[in-house]
Structure 1
Amino acid sequence: MDNQTISPRQFMFLVMMYTIGSSILIIPTPATAQAKQDAWMSVILSILIGLLLMLFYSKIGSMMKGKTFVQGVIETFGGFFGRILCFFYLSFIYILAALVLRNIGDFMTTQIIPDTPLQFTHILFLLVVIWGAWLGIEAIGRTSEIFVPWIILLFCFLLAAVSPQIKVDNLQPMLGEGLTPVLGASTVVIGTPLLEMIILLMIFPYVKERKKAIHGWLLGVLLGGGVLVAITLLSILVLGSDLTSINNYPSYVIAEKINIAGFLEGLEIIVAIIWMLTIFFKLTILYYACTVGIAQFLKMENHRPLLFPIGIGIIVLSIIAYPNVAYYETFVKNTWFPYALTHGLVLPLFVWAGLSIKNRIRKKNTPSENGKQNQTNENQATT
C-alpha cells in the first residue's frame, strides 16, 4: 500500500474542502425549507455538534495506532466479524461516492451544459478523480495547498459582489416558530457532511504529527462550516427564505444577481468554480478511501488495479441511484440522515467499544507478563 504522508495543514485543507464539497449548493435549500429564516442558526448548531463528533472520530483514529479504519477494525474484531463491519463501512463510502458524482452531473446538466448527456459528464469528471487517486494522498494534499487560496479569494469576492443585494429584513422574525424547526433542520448538515467524515479515518493515519492532525481536523471543520453558514445566511439575506427553499441551487442563483456598475454581470461561474473545486477534492478523497479500503479488505498490496473497475460501478450506480432531482430531495430529507447516522455514529461507537475493551485487556496482560519476566530474571540470578 502507499507509503505516503501529508502534513497537518494539508489535512486541514482537505477537511475544509470535504466539508464544503457538495454542501455549498445543496444545504441551503433543505435547511431553509425546515427552519425558514433561521436556517443559518441550524448550520451553526450543526457545526458545534460536528466538532464533538470530530473529537470522537479522532479518538478512534488515535486508538487504532497508525492503522486505517479497515485495518483497525479487522485487527480488533477478527477476520470474519471485522470484515462484516468493514463491508458496511465500504458500502457506505461507495454509495456516497456515487451520490456525490450524481450531484455533479445534475448541476452541470441543469445549469451549465443542459444539452450534454449525464453519462458523458460523469465519465469526464471521474477520469480526473481517478488520476488524482492514482497519484496518491500526498499529491492530493499538495494540490489542496494550491487551490485553497483561490477558493477563499473567489468566495470573498462573491460576498463583496452580492452585498448590495442584501436585505436584512429577510432575517425577521428571528426564532418566529421557536427552536423546534432550528433543531430539526440541523440534522440536514449533520447528515451531510459531518457524519460522512467517518470516511476521513481512512486518511487520518497518513497525517504526520497526530496531535496536530486532530487540531487540523477541528480547524478544517470550523473553516468549512463557516463557509456553509455564510452561504446559507447570504442566500436568505438576498433571496429570502421562501425563494431559497424552492431553488435547487440558491447559492448559484444569488451569484446570478451580481451587478457591478451595470456592466459586470453573469458572475455565477464563481460559485460554479468554487463548487467544482471543492467537490473534486471530496470525491477524490471518497474514491481514494474506497479503493484503498477495498484493497486492504482483500489483502491486496496496491489499490491502483481497482481504480478503473470501481469507477465503472460508481458511474452506473450514480445514474440508476435516483431518477430525478425531486426524488433525490425526498431521499435526502427522509432517508439519508438515518442511513448516515448508522454508519457515522452507531458503527463508530461499536468500534470504539471494541477498541476500548481490547486496550484494557492488553493493559491487564502487560503487567503480569512483566512480572513473570522479572521473576524469571530473579531465579536466574539466584541460580
Structure 2
Amino acid sequence: MDNQTISPRQFMFLVILFTIGSSIIIVPGPLAAQAKQDAWLSITISLLIGLTLILFYNHMAKLMEGKTFVQATIMVFGNWFGRFILFFYLSFLFILAALVLRNIGDFMTTEIIPETPLQFTHILFLIVVIWGAYLGLEVMGRSAEMFMPWVFLLLLFFTITLAPQINVENLQPFLGEGFMPVLSTSTFVIGTPLLEMVTFLMIFPYVKDAKTKRKAWVLGVFIGGMILTLITLLCLLVLGSDLTALNTFPSYKLAQKINIAGFLEGLEIVIGIIWMLTIFFKMVVLYYAVSVGVAQFLTMDDHRPLLLPLGMGMIVLSIIAYPDVAYFETFVGDTWFPYAFTHGFILPAFVWIGLIIKSKRDKKQKDLSSHS
C-alpha cells in the first residue's frame, strides 16, 4: 500500500468537496418538495446532527490508533467475523460510488450533452477518477488545494450575480407547514452526504498531525454544510419552493437565471464545471477508499491492480442500479437513509464498542504486566 500522507488542510478541502459533491445538485429539490420554503432549515438541523456524527467518527479514529477502518475491524473481530462485517461496509462504499457516477451521467445527459449515451459519459468520467486514485492520496490532496479557491470564487460570483433576483417573500411564511416536515426531511441530508462521511475512516490514518486533523474534519463538514445551505437558500429565494421542487437539478436551473445587464447570459456551464469538480472529488475519494479497503481486505500490498476491475463493475452497476431519474428520487427519498444509517452509524458503532472493549482489555493487561 502506498504510504502517502496529506496535511490537515488538504484533508479539510477534500471533506468540503466531498460534502458538496453530488448533494449540490440533488439536495435542494426533494427538500423543497416536502419542507417547502423551510428547506434551508432542514439542512441547518441536519448539519448540527452531522457535526455530532463527525465527533463520533473522530473518537473512533482515535481508538483505531493509526489504522484504517478495514484494518481496525480485522484487528478487533479477527479474520473471519471481521471480514464478514467489512463485506457490508465495502459494499456500501462501492454502491455509493456507483450511484454518484450515475448522478454525473444523469446530469450530463439531461442538461449538457443529451445526445451522448449514458455509458460513454460514465466511462470517460471514470477513466479520470481511476487515474486520480492511481496517482494516490498526495496528488488528490494537492489537487483539492489547487481547485478549492476556484470553487469558492465561482460560488461567490454565483451569489453576487443572483442577488438582484432575490425575493425574500419566497421564504414566507416561516414554518408555514409546521415543524414536522422540516424535521422529517432533515434525514435526507443526514443520509446524503453526512452518513457517507464514514468513507473518511479509510483516509483519516494517512493525515498528518493527530490533533489538527480532527478539527479539520469538523470544520470541513461545517463549511461544506454551509455551502449546501447557501445554495438551497438561493434556490428558494430566486426560484421559489414550487419551482425548486419541480426541477430535477434546481441549482443548475438557478444558474440559467444569471443575467448581467442583459448581455452576459448562458453562464450555467461554468456552474456545471464547478459541480463536475466537486462530484469528481467525491468520486475519487470513494474510489480510493474502496480500492484501498478491498486491497486490505484481501491482504494485498498494493491497491492499484484493483482499480480497473472495480471500475468495470462500477460502470455496470451504475447503469442497472436504477432505470430513470424518477426511480432515483423515490429511492433516495425512501430507501437511502435507512441504508446509509445502517452502514454509516450502526456498523461503525458496533466496531467502536469492540474498539473500546479491546482498549480497556489492553490497558488492563498492561497494568498487570507493569505490576508483576
Shift >3 Å, 4+ stretches: none
Shift of 1:321: 0.3
CA RMSD of aligned residues (A): 0.6
Shift of 1:162: 0.9
Name 1:201's counterpart in structure 2: 201
Partners of 1:177 and 1:364 in 2: how far apart? Answer: 55
Partners of 2:142 and 2:161 in 1: how far apart? Answer: 30
Partners of 2:112 and 2:273 in 1: how far apart? Answer: 12
Letter in 1 for 2:246: I
Partners of 1:275 and 1:112 in 2: how far apart? Answer: 13
Partners of 1:33 and 1:96 in 2: how far apart? Answer: 23
Question: Which one is further off, 360-369 or 276-285?
Answer: 360-369
Partners of 2:48 and 2:270 in 1: how far apart? Answer: 28
Partners of 1:188 and 1:106 in 2: how far apart? Answer: 20
Aligned counterparts, 1:139-218, within 5 A: 139-218=139-218
Partners of 1:265 and 1:25 in 2: how far apart? Answer: 20
Aligned counterparts, 1:148-297, within 5 A: 148-297=148-297
Query: Aligned with 2:326: secondary structure?
Result: helix
Aligned counterparts, 1:304-323, within 5 A: 304-323=304-323
Shift of 1:232: 0.3
8 Å Cα contact 1:158/1:270 also seen in 2: no
- 1:123-156 Cα offsets, whole Å, 9 max, x none, are 0000000000000011100110100000000010
Partners of 1:49 and 1:271 in 2: how far apart? Answer: 29
Partners of 1:26 and 1:146 in 2: how far apart? Answer: 25
Shift of 1:210: 1.2
- 1:92-119 Cα offsets, whole Å, 9 max, x none, are 0000000000000000000000000100
Name 2:345's counterpart in structure 1: 345
8 Å Cα contact 1:16/1:220 also seen in 2: yes
The answer to whether 1:104 aligns with 2:108 is: no
Letter in 1 for 2:47: I
- 1:202-247 Cα offsets, whole Å, 9 max, x none, are 0000000011001000110111111100000000001100110110
The answer to whether 1:328 aligns with 2:328 is: yes
- 1:15-36 Cα offsets, whole Å, 9 max, x none, are 0000000000100011111110
TM-score with structure 2 setting the length = 0.99
Structure index of larger Rg: 1
Query: Aligned with 1:178: secondary structure?
Result: coil
Shift of 1:371: 1.5
The answer to whether 1:11 aligns with 2:11 is: yes
TM-score with structure 1 setting the length = 0.97
User: How many pairs does the alignment contain?
Assistant: 372
Query: Aligned with 1:264: secondary structure?
Result: coil
Partners of 1:259 and 1:371 in 2: how far apart? Answer: 76
Letter in 1 for 2:53: L
- 1:309-364 Cα offsets, whole Å, 9 max, x none, are 00000000000000000000000000000000000110111011000111111111
Give the fraction of aligned pairs with identical amino acids, expressed as a percent.
Answer: 66
Shift of 1:270: 2.5
Name 2:38's counterpart in structure 1: 38
Partners of 2:77 and 2:280 in 1: how far apart? Answer: 34
The gaps in structure 1 that reach 5 residues or longer are: 373-383
Letter in 1 for 2:258: I
The gaps in structure 2 that reach 5 residues or longer are: none
